[in-house]
Amino acid sequence: MSLDVLLKQAAKRLQAAGSASPRVDAEVLMCHVLERDRTWLYTWGDKMCSAQEQARFDALIDARAEGKPVAYLTGEREFWGLRLATSSTTLIPRPDTETLVEIALSRVTRISGRLLDLGTGTGAIALAFASEQPGWQVVGVDVRQEAVELATRNAYALGIANARFLHSDWFGTLPSDGNAETFFNIIVSNPPYIAADDPHLDEGDVRFEPRSALVAKADGMADLLHLVATARRYLAASGWLLLEHGYTQAAKVRLALTSAGYQNVESVRDLGGHERVTLGRLITAT
């Protein structure tokens, strides 16, 4: 059977199963099977699949129709133009999180500095920033050792030498002895911020992602508030704290930052127009 026919049938099935992007999903999975890019797919749609290739493709379509994320089925996801290996132990990098990277880069005023990415997962945020700012030292931490190992492999595969990854429960294993080398000019995080009873947890790709990386206590605010309070001890003077959050949480995060003594507090909208990232500046380091 030709690629075009297989893709048409697969897209129809995925649409019936509720996929928001059935044709794209089918094309990405076919490219994964054939080890080709989508440009090749468009050019050679009349090519015939082997029985083995078709069987592999059908199995992936079956899994996607059950709701399993494409990024977990292929084992990779593109973020900021970087091809990242993914794992079911980490969140799938999403386009909206590129907003956090853009804002962090916009706050760079020096050739060298230090950035900390809390809850790094695949290393997406840390590696995107490090790829744009090779003069900066970038540190990513995660409470899951599997995530630390995955992010480290991604850095190696991409040839990004100015990012390293550590096992830590937020700031838990980071020194805070007041030495200048322990402070960061920018701290970023995409922490868990979904309430435990949020119905979206039972929809789409989120159903298959680790709950520990999604859900936070206090209606999703617990980790955000912890980071606001604790980051002060790790920020350099005039350092920035940037937090991704849910689209209804911006006002609460702004209030928390202002109450904690941060200045220049503001929220920035994501690609969908929702307030997604809130930031503040600590003029005088603690």
pLDDT at position 177, please? 61
pLDDT at position 204, please? 80
What are residue 79's DSSP bridge partners? Answer: 82
Name the helix (H) or strand (E) containing 59.
Answer: helix 51-65
pLDDT at position 285, please? 54
* CB contact set of 164 (below 8 Å; sequence gap of 6+): 138, 139, 140, 152, 155
Give me 50's structure tokens.
Answer: 């082997």
What single DSSP character describes residue 264? E
Residue 18 to residues 11, 25, 40, 209: CA-CA distances in angstroms?
A: 11, 12, 27, 18
Residue type, 197: D
- Contact assessment for residue 246 and residue 124, using Cβ atoms and an 8 Å cutoff: no
- Contact assessment for residue 68 and residue 26, using Cβ atoms and an 8 Å cutoff: no
pTM: 0.92
Q: Can you spell out the DSSP letters for 133-171? A: -TTSEEEEEES-HHHHHHHHHHHHHHT--SEEEEE-STT
Residue written as token pair 């007041």? 178
pLDDT at position 181, please? 66
pLDDT at position 270, please? 92
Give me 200's structure tokens.
Answer: 């979206």
User: Which domains, from first to last, does the chain contain?
Assistant: 3-67 (1.10.8.10), 89-282 (3.40.50.150)
Query: How many Å apart are CA 137 and CA 156, to the nearest integer?
Result: 15
Would you give per-residue pLDDT tens digits along the chain (286 residues)? 899 999 999 999 999 998 889 999 999 999 999 999 888 988 888 889 899 999 999 999 999 999 999 999 999 999 999 999 999 999 999 999 999 999 999 999 999 999 999 999 999 999 999 999 999 999 999 999 999 999 999 999 999 999 999 999 999 999 766 665 679 999 999 999 999 998 888 888 888 898 889 999 999 999 999 999 999 999 999 999 999 999 999 999 999 999 999 999 999 999 889 999 999 999 875 5
